[in-house]
Structure 1
Amino acid sequence: MTAQNLLVELFVEELPPKALKKLGDAFATVLADQLRAQGLAPADAVVTAFASPRRLAAHVTGVLPRAADKAVSQKLMPVSVGLDANGQPTPALLKRLAALGADASAVAGLKRAPDGKAEALFYDSVAPGAELAVGLQKALDEAIAKLPIPKVMTYQLADGWSDVKFVRPAHRLLALHGSTILGVSALGLQASSMTEGHRFECDPKAFAIREADSYAQQMKDQGAVIASFAERKAEIARQLAAAAAKVGNGAKPIEDDALLDEVTALVERPNVLICEFESQFLGVPQECLILTMKANQKYFPLLDAQGRLTNQFLVVSNITPDDPSAVIGGNERVVRPRLADAKFFFDQDRKKSLASRVEGLGKVVYHNKLGTQGERTERVRAIARAIGQQLGGDVLAKQADTAAQLAKTDLLTDMVGEFPELQGIMGGYYARHDGLSEDIAFAIEDHYRPRFAGDELPRNAVGTVVALADKLETLAGMFGIGNLPTGDKDPFALRRHALGVARMLIEGGLPLQFHELTRLAFSVFPNGALQDTVVQLDEFLIERLKGYLKDCDYSVAEVDAALYARQLGFWSTVPGRLAAVREFQALPEAPALAAANKRIGNILKKSEGVGEAVNPALFQEPAERALFDAMLATVPAADAKFEAGDFTASLQALAALRAPVDAFFDGVMVNADDPALKANRLGLLKQLHDAMNRVADLSRLAS
């Protein structure tokens, strides 16, 4: 059996661009996995996915025309059921053998082997390997069935009677093993060696692929198509960079991988062209112009060396005419009305101040159980004032109140109505136009931050306060009416809000207690409006914090140790505690101290009402006196380092206690018969436990 490379292609009408990459990868992956599972492709087969606007294809190396025969051992039944007292086959055994295509002559060859507590009969046979045409048919059906299709279409076949459900109407199926056409079918199509090239630049329209390995090159040469998604994307990126260099002055296309993917899914033979628009439009905020060019036209705006928008942009065309002027002119005419609309919206919006729009928020429903945006704004203001007062006194509280009052007003502007993605950003521009300070403008612009993992935090204290208030109000409101995230569903982005709160508290170094913040957030709602779910919200925030810290490459044990310290205090102390825990774990004394800490914790749990009073006069064993003296010498220094915020030095100072702690457990009976002696020893352990767990709960580090 000679292995050859396999090529399968589905030629269809234009596929949804945002789903194309996933569709191409899924088609190739499932097809190859199914071939491997049937023994038709080796485990190390190289799989290449192809995906263009009108095709999904897969190239798999080393595919066999027929899978190798496979030895199969099948359990039949217990010996006591299959053979009678004389060792003769029972009717049940003969019936089972017949179902497998064997008769009574096979009984002598059956194997006996232990199966649990009993002995069973096993039938050994050889299963013939699958033929490639049969195996590929199964693999192709599976690959099509498992495609992550965003929306299925139903269309009729050529016979006028049958219909098919697929992402887009399919017109050709190509299946080649080497140069041999395989007799498979799918979506009402029979496989051949024929495909079609570029819709406009391929002549003749249809042509034959010679063999599996010539597919990519023939598609380029005869079909005028770069079939590989990755290769086409790289070519577009190369042409974009070359076109920007041609413009000069340090120009560069805007970086947007999602846009690049989408454009790659729209063209089969990319051709980047340089276009421009009237410079008068540059008076509009560049975010508006960039968004309309990207979202509506799939253009790549050009930025200058300082990151400012220029009046030139790049178009990725799907055709390569000798004279591109008509294509360039057409795209310039198309973008002009879009930019004019943006300018009109911007000019109209500035005729009304943000303050004059506050009243209008009372007419916008936020949630049917939580009232209007106006009511929500008042709640956010109350939270922001309280946080601002705590962080910066009257000045910050007043600024935060003003920013919170105006933060949502840009939702009522024409620009945000057209481009919801610009909410906050436009508020910042309009705030400056109204003569408000940069602090307020930045806060309005930044109060949605961080909007996603890795996003920047608000740029100033006012923005941080309003962003915290906004997220806390959302979390409290949604938890209070029972709209909690479930599984992978989180329609109100509560996980993102909780992560934002955690990041601002930690990365911003804010001296705020998270549980006080959650209670503040619940307190601004009317009595009876919310269920009492504040504890659930606390737990939710802690889980998001854990996830954030683990993403920062801390282990589960390190995170648990830092978060369950005796007196955690502010979340802003957590990074320092984690660093201290990591340094402590590197000490040779760490394992023994962690284990001892866990042991002490277990002892104290079993003894209710343990006090911290220790009377040295009651010491009987040298080891308890030695531990007490060691603590007197070590703990004050460790506490001083803790109070100074040097958590690493605080933990490392405790390393000196290892020997006296070990000696204590070796030579002292804690649960003494004398109650006073027992209480004294428990008090000593309680003092030690409290001292050891100020920075972190060391018992969490015990293996």
Structure 2
Amino acid sequence: MNSTMTQNLLIELLVEELPPKSLEDLAINFADLIAASLRDHGLISEYSNNGGVKIYATPRRLAVWIANVASQAADKSVSQKLMPVKVGLDENNQPTPPLLKKLAGLGADASAVAQLKRIYEGKTETLFLDTVATGTKLTDGLQIALGEAISRLPIPKIMTYQLANGWESVNFVRPAHTLVALHGDEIIPVRILGLDSGRETLGHRFEANRLTIQLQSADSYAQQLLEEGAVIAGFDDRRAEISRQLSAAADRAGLTLIQDDALLNEVAALVELPNVLIGQFDPEFLDVPQECLILTMKANQKYFPLMDAKGKLANKFLLVSNIRPADPTLVVTGNERVVRSRLADAKFFYDQDRKKTLESRLPGLDHVVYHNKLGTQGERIQRVRVIARSIALLLGGETLADEAGKAALLSKTDLLTEMVGEFPELQGIMGYYYALNDGYGESIAQAVADHYKPRFSGDTLPRNTAGICVALADKLETLTGLFSVGQIPTGDKDPFALRRHALGTIRILIEKELPVSLDFLLKEARLAFDDQYPETALSPLQFIYDRLAGLLREQGHSVQAIDAVLCQSPKVLKDIPKRLEAVREFEKLPEAASLAAANKRVHNILEKSAQTEAVNNTQINTGLLKEPAEIALYDALMQVKPQADSAFESGEYTRSLQSLAALKEPVDAFFDHVMVNTDDAGLRTNRLCLLELMHQAMNRVADLSRLAG
């Protein structure tokens, strides 16, 4: 047996500046891979990010602290399978040469034969040797863990660089300079990327109190880095400090910070000792649309724009410096010079773009390829225009159709502007400003801006009806066109974002409560292509229903309820939330389970009888109703069905389903006392017609048979 000592472990890899957008992911994987490998070697029992493992990451380092790591894993009992008894032992139970050779290979001799176990594996009696495997030493286990972590990190782009000896080259995300491996206060001798482990690291390039830091122990890492190295080692701690300083600086200026978690994460990956400062730019730049200025400051300079009390962009911004000089004037003025140049570029693009109308750019779209099988953007917007007008005629008549048609025609023209060429994220947004500049008015300008909406989950929807028409047309044209040429998403591959287009269509139809059927929309989309492209086996219709089912599951609706509603293929999607609510309320009724089970039974009977019987209508011959139970069911249906149908037609789906509760007793009695498949063909057909009538009455809102257990 070995004696083990448990101490906390620290691993740090000091490197040149890491890619900021990958830093957090690299740090998490570095820590998890090392901890998982140590656990697999028995050096730690369990680990979790809420105490057992602490992840550290700065622009220049990946580090992990792991609690309670053993200096050596515990010995383990191992049962070693050797060979069948008849091979290993002779008729006198003496070891054969093959057995002795096998034992020698395991470090045992003939004396071990007496300790061998005999275990039956099926019909074969097999020899086993129980041994004790010595636990892995931390030095060995950590060496393996580091190698696995380095080789399996999700590195976006690997660098090959030469080591200091001038002969060897290694591959990593960035050149590495030092390796720290401390178990408590002792160095664990390991080697990776040409580096031997030690306890020495470097602090901040400019703010550290000393050139090198001698780490005392694994537990002193974060404190020593902060006090001696002027580095906040924890990524989350640094991000929280930046957020605190940003809020405080905005409050002092009497302005509001634009929250941007992605930018906050990126800046936290760019600095080791954050220092938030405030700068400003000339108010003349505020004549440029604020979206342009905000994007310029965020994307190019990593600045945080500020808004005034009216929600308008102020001519001040916050920057996060990596140094803390006594007088920050030079830092601020330097950044102000840079931002002035960037904003001047944006103003130049804006001024140049307005010299040419959006309509004058239309011919240019004929030279922009949309898809090699679907033509140019010019051809595409003509199709979008046709679809948008058809939807608008249905929703609001000729005036709305003219608005939607004009907005559709202009919707892609800003792709040819200088501003969108520089910042593709502004497509649609710049179309709005340029449409206003061209005198089209707010409604058409908003429709141009909003036709991409919703761009992502949780995004807002188009603000006006013209925008709704163009947004639907744009998405339906994309779905129909790409499905027709076989560009159907498979697995996790969706290069044309067709899932997003389908979900956008669903959200608009439901949340805007549009009384428009999917059949109509997809038919109009097909017509816009002039039958130029063939139908595909998987239609956009089924694709949309599949996305809708997924969306409803995310919203918390039960799979059974969704299945019950969607199997009816309701074409007007705005009714679906009300149908689901009706199903939820129906399931609360004491009669629900019985009616669902009866409905399933009816469904099965009708489905089976369809193979032999011609039940094409519900014309019931009352003269053939013989049994009291079938007469009672017929009378109940004559009372309930008009109520249920009336409620259904008026959109009162909950009342429609709840009215069915009165059918429970007559339905139960019918199945208890009436034989449907009687030998009398006339009676059998009449009873099947009665069941068909009941089936129709019960399943207009949802297929209740899908609710049966």
Q: TM-score, normalised by structure 1?
A: 0.96
The 2-side partners of 1:461 and 1:116 are apart by 75
The 1-side partners of 2:665 and 2:124 are apart by 56
Which stretch of the first structure deviates more once superposed, 214-223 or 568-577? 568-577
Which stretch of the first structure deviates more once superposed, 623-632 or 364-373? 623-632
Per-residue Cα deviation, 1:490-540 (whole angstroms, up to 9, x for no partner): 121111111111111111111222233223223322544x34227432221
- For the 8 Å contact 2:387–2:528, the answer to whether it is kept is yes
Matched, 1:543 2:546: yes
Matched, 1:610 2:612: no
- For the 8 Å contact 1:475–1:537, the answer to whether it is kept is yes
Question: Which amino acid in structure 2 is aligned with residue 574 of structure 1?
Answer: I
1:247, distance to aligned residue in structure 2 (A): 0.5
Per-residue Cα deviation, 1:394-418 (whole angstroms, up to 9, x for no partner): 1111111000001111111111111
The structure-2 alpha-carbon separation of the partners of 1:577 and 1:314, relative to structure 1 and needing over 3 Å to count, comes to same
The 1-side partners of 2:359 and 2:342 are apart by 28
Is the partner of 2:366 in helix, strand or coil? helix
Per-residue Cα deviation, 1:596-620 (whole angstroms, up to 9, x for no partner): 2222211111112323232232233
Match for residue 514 of structure 1?
518
- For the 8 Å contact 2:518–2:571, the answer to whether it is kept is no
Matched, 1:322 2:301: no
Matched, 1:645 2:651: yes
Aligned pair partner of 2:673 in 667, 682, 690? 667
Match for residue 16 of structure 1?
19
Matches within 5 A, 1:225-624: 225-248=231-254, 251-528=255-532, 530-533=533-536, 535-565=538-568, 568-608=570-610, 609-611=614-616, 612-624=618-630
Per-residue Cα deviation, 1:167-196 (whole angstroms, up to 9, x for no partner): 001111111110010011111111101111
The 2-side partners of 1:590 and 1:579 are apart by 14
Which stretch of the first structure deviates more once superposed, 81-90 or 683-692? 81-90
Is the partner of 2:5 in helix, strand or coil? coil
Matched, 1:658 2:664: yes
Question: Which amino acid in structure 2 is aligned with residue 38 of structure 1?
Answer: H
Per-residue Cα deviation, 1:610-631 (whole angstroms, up to 9, x for no partner): 2323223223333222222222
The 2-side partners of 1:488 and 1:117 are apart by 48
- For the 8 Å contact 2:349–2:419, the answer to whether it is kept is yes
1:87, distance to aligned residue in structure 2 (A): 6.0
The 1-side partners of 2:622 and 2:85 are apart by 75
Per-residue Cα deviation, 1:210-234 (whole angstroms, up to 9, x for no partner): 0001000111001110010000000
Question: Which amino acid in structure 2 is aligned with residue 546 of structure 1?
Answer: A
The 2-side partners of 1:583 and 1:94 are apart by 76
Cα RMSD for the two superposed structures: 2.0
Aligned pair partner of 2:687 in 661, 677, 681? 681
> Identity across aligned pairs (percent)?
61
The 2-side partners of 1:161 and 1:489 are apart by 43
1:22, distance to aligned residue in structure 2 (A): 0.6
Which stretch of the first structure deviates more once superposed, 530-539 or 498-507? 530-539
Matched, 1:33 2:36: yes
The structure-2 alpha-carbon separation of the partners of 1:683 and 1:91, relative to structure 1 and needing over 3 Å to count, comes to farther
Q: TM-score, normalised by structure 2?
A: 0.95
- For the 8 Å contact 1:47–1:58, the answer to whether it is kept is yes
Matches within 5 A, 1:120-199: 121-199=127-205
The 2-side partners of 1:620 and 1:123 are apart by 81
1:56, distance to aligned residue in structure 2 (A): 0.4
- For the 8 Å contact 1:476–1:534, the answer to whether it is kept is no
The structure-2 alpha-carbon separation of the partners of 1:358 and 1:4, relative to structure 1 and needing over 3 Å to count, comes to same
1:299, distance to aligned residue in structure 2 (A): 0.3
The 1-side partners of 2:107 and 2:457 are apart by 60
- For the 8 Å contact 1:522–1:534, the answer to whether it is kept is no
Which stretch of the first structure deviates more once superposed, 636-645 or 209-218? 636-645
The structure-2 alpha-carbon separation of the partners of 1:404 and 1:69, relative to structure 1 and needing over 3 Å to count, comes to same
- For the 8 Å contact 2:201–2:212, the answer to whether it is kept is yes
Question: Which amino acid in structure 1 is aligned with residue 583 of structure 2?
Answer: V
| Alignment size in residue pairs | 699
1:133, distance to aligned residue in structure 2 (A): 1.1
Is the partner of 1:191 in helix, strand or coil? strand
Question: Which amino acid in structure 2 is aligned with residue 491 of structure 1?
Answer: P
- For the 8 Å contact 2:58–2:234, the answer to whether it is kept is yes
The structure-2 alpha-carbon separation of the partners of 1:212 and 1:684, relative to structure 1 and needing over 3 Å to count, comes to same
Per-residue Cα deviation, 1:134-179 (whole angstroms, up to 9, x for no partner): 1111111122222111111111111112111110011111111100
1:639, distance to aligned residue in structure 2 (A): 1.6
1:78, distance to aligned residue in structure 2 (A): 5.8
Matches within 5 A, 1:683-702: 683-702=689-708
- For the 8 Å contact 2:35–2:47, the answer to whether it is kept is no
1:89, distance to aligned residue in structure 2 (A): 5.9
| Structure 2 unmatched ranges of 5 or more | none
The structure-2 alpha-carbon separation of the partners of 1:390 and 1:90, relative to structure 1 and needing over 3 Å to count, comes to farther
Is the partner of 1:426 in helix, strand or coil? helix
Per-residue Cα deviation, 1:345-394 (whole angstroms, up to 9, x for no partner): 11111112111111221122222221111111111111111111122121
Question: Which amino acid in structure 1 is aligned with residue 139 of structure 2?
Answer: A
1:295, distance to aligned residue in structure 2 (A): 0.3
1:69, distance to aligned residue in structure 2 (A): 1.6
Which stretch of the first structure deviates more once superposed, 473-482 or 425-434? 473-482
The 2-side partners of 1:430 and 1:452 are apart by 24
The structure-2 alpha-carbon separation of the partners of 1:210 and 1:688, relative to structure 1 and needing over 3 Å to count, comes to same
Is the partner of 2:445 in helix, strand or coil? helix
Question: Which amino acid in structure 2 is aligned with residue 376 of structure 1?
Answer: R
Question: Which amino acid in structure 2 is aligned with residue 292 of structure 1?
Answer: T
Question: Which amino acid in structure 1 is aligned with residue 390 of structure 2?
Answer: A
Aligned pair partner of 2:10 in 7, 11, 19? 7
The 2-side partners of 1:555 and 1:89 are apart by 66
Which stretch of the first structure deviates more once superposed, 612-621 or 286-295? 612-621
The structure-2 alpha-carbon separation of the partners of 1:634 and 1:73, relative to structure 1 and needing over 3 Å to count, comes to farther
The structure-2 alpha-carbon separation of the partners of 1:90 and 1:323, relative to structure 1 and needing over 3 Å to count, comes to same
Which stretch of the first structure deviates more once superposed, 12-21 or 517-526? 517-526
The structure-2 alpha-carbon separation of the partners of 1:548 and 1:114, relative to structure 1 and needing over 3 Å to count, comes to farther
The structure-2 alpha-carbon separation of the partners of 1:621 and 1:436, relative to structure 1 and needing over 3 Å to count, comes to same
1:663, distance to aligned residue in structure 2 (A): 2.3
Is the partner of 2:481 in helix, strand or coil? helix
The structure-2 alpha-carbon separation of the partners of 1:11 and 1:86, relative to structure 1 and needing over 3 Å to count, comes to same
